[in-house]
Structure 1
């Protein structure tokens, strides 16, 4: 079997390409820098479905008028321990960066704080955000609805988004423990990568438009994805809908898809981030309780099980030293994008 052609690039080259394209398609420099950083993080950590491939997604969102390319985020403080950042229709990365310092300040002052990003366009992963906050010494939980692409367990018609949940735990002297999981059986970007490569998907990933189980990636994208873990994933997905939508005054995935009105653009909606300062509960027990957490991690890895985030950290070490391999076909699509711009 022939191996698809790839091009080795350094992470600096990945960043430069991402910035070049994002600026060319019309993003303001501050937005372009924030968006490019998440794409670099995706390639760096082996999460290619959230790497340079997302340039195609971002460009489409700008070209179709879904994302406001020069939106100026508005920061509000509705309560002592709350931050709200109205993204005014721009991509979510800059609103997060805009409110991040205030969220950290409030969490450390109050013990716990929450930030709502509203009216933002989502197309990337949550783990870069929770990792950044965990590096500040905070325990973090983040979640966001998306478009209604996922059927509830027992049904075959979309109601939920892929509705990821991300968590970060600070580890003194080590990289944070971080996981980011979709409540769908798989991230939508992974299905799209299968479609682009002409590869079938597992039959538990989704249904076609008629509600039939299928291994055709394109049919799943036109039909409905499935939740992970049956009714358990379905319940968690409903929770994300409520906390990341109505609770913060933003939309459900059904409303986001209706607003899209067939454009097949990136989801528009909200995101909830909860940050907790361990010092508040632990107090003088901090050293002992962090040691207990490390003992749990050791018990996981000691029996050969993989600790979530360890694969990303291993990929990070390799890519920092060796660079990353980018499919030539993707680079061709990106070059065509530049020529059109």
Structure 2
């Protein structure tokens, strides 16, 4: 199979293209710019399944009968450490951006901050926003339910979401330590990319509609996905359902699926962010102790999560961000 033709574009050009796309489909300027930042960051750092590949699908999300193209979320400080933002049925990333200042301020002043987002349609990867918070000197974790695509271990029907979780730790004079992963065996977007490329998937990623193991991505998308690590992944996914669902007045993944009403939109869910100040809680030695841990990875030449993404980011900065020509043409054709 011939490799797909690509073109490399400056980061600003890609961001401008995404903003143009959204504005052409009548999304308001704040949401358009927020989504452009998210999708461009994912494409820049090599997370192709969460980058421009998602842009055409946002049309299905914006066509949802409850989607609000003019959403203007406002951060509401409930207590000294707790901030809530209603995304007003727009894309969730804008609501998060407007709540992050309160989150980081609370963590730096009181040691901990909590940010709860309600009624936001899923944007893309979680790591760009936790990295942004960590760059301000706090450690932060984020999580959210999705749609009920995943069979709990020992079960027979999809109940849980892919339920991603991200974490970032600040590092003095270095980029933050960041990870972001789904609690399913693979992200749904990665399975969809394999399907579009005509590729098989590993055994253990999902089952067909009859509950049988399969390596056919189309069969898994029509059937159900599996949690990573068997009962361990199933338990972590359930924790995310509870913390980022009922605890913050949000939806579980099953509720998100019912809310979708067959529109094939991104999940409309809640998101939970919890930030900590290591230095306030433990003192300056916290940061040095963390650096000693990270140095242990280097000593045995183990890959520190996030390093690959940063390496790709550096190449993108020098050479431009790669985009497949077929995807680029598809996006351009969808701009009225």
Q: TM-score, normalised by structure 1?
A: 0.96
- Determine the structure 1 residue equivalent to 2:308: 311
Cα distance in 1 for residues equivalent to 2:292 and 2:110: 28
- Determine the structure 1 residue equivalent to 2:191: 191
SS of residue matched to 1:42: helix
Cα distance in 2 for residues equivalent to 1:320 and 1:156: 46
How far has the Cα of 1:68 moved from its partner?
1.2
Cα distance in 1 for residues equivalent to 2:154 and 2:79: 40
Is the aligned partner of 1:289 residue 2:286?
A: yes
Cα distance in 1 for residues equivalent to 2:325 and 2:225: 29
Cα distance in 2 for residues equivalent to 1:58 and 1:198: 23
Cα distance in 2 for residues equivalent to 1:59 and 1:13: 21
Is the aligned partner of 1:263 residue 2:263?
A: yes
Cα distance in 2 for residues equivalent to 1:3 and 1:75: 46
Instruction: Write the deviation string for residues 141-172 of structure 1: whole angstroms up to 9, x where unpaired.
Output: 11000110111112242111110111110000
Cα distance in 1 for residues equivalent to 2:18 and 2:295: 38
SS of residue matched to 1:79: coil
- Determine the structure 2 residue equivalent to 1:144: 144
**Count of residue pairs brought into register by the alignment:** 336
- Determine the structure 2 residue equivalent to 1:214: 214
- Determine the structure 2 residue equivalent to 1:327: 324
How far has the Cα of 1:320 moved from its partner?
0.6
- After the TM superposition, list the runs of 4 or more consecutive aligned residues in structure 1 that deviate by more than 3 angstroms: none
Instruction: Write the deviation string for residues 216-252 of structure 1: whole angstroms up to 9, x where unpaired.
Output: 1111111111111111110000000000000000100
Change (3 A) 1:315 1:156: farther
Cα distance in 2 for residues equivalent to 1:144 and 1:44: 23
Cα distance in 2 for residues equivalent to 1:256 and 1:16: 31
Is the aligned partner of 1:174 residue 2:171?
A: no
- Determine the structure 1 residue equivalent to 2:20: 20
SS of residue matched to 1:259: helix
Determine if contact 2:163/2:240 at 8 Å carries over to the other structure: yes
Determine if contact 2:77/2:102 at 8 Å carries over to the other structure: no
Instruction: Write the deviation string for residues 113-139 of structure 1: whole angstroms up to 9, x where unpaired.
Output: 100000100030110111011001001
Q: Which moved more, 1:311-320 or 1:297-306?
A: 297-306
Instruction: Write the deviation string for residues 54-81 of structure 1: whole angstroms up to 9, x where unpaired.
Output: 2112222113335311111132222221
- Determine the structure 1 residue equivalent to 2:299: 302
Cα distance in 2 for residues equivalent to 1:250 and 1:37: 25
- Determine the structure 1 residue equivalent to 2:235: 235
Is the aligned partner of 1:203 residue 2:203?
A: yes
How far has the Cα of 1:82 moved from its partner?
0.3
- Determine the structure 1 residue equivalent to 2:157: 157
Instruction: Provide the alpha-carbon RMSD of the alignment.
Output: 1.2
- Determine the structure 1 residue equivalent to 2:95: 95
Q: Unmatched 5+ residue regions in structure 2?
A: none
Determine if contact 1:138/1:169 at 8 Å carries over to the other structure: yes
Instruction: Write the deviation string for residues 82-134 of structure 1: whole angstroms up to 9, x where unpaired.
Output: 00000110001110111111111122221101000001000301101110110
- Determine the structure 1 residue equivalent to 2:10: 10
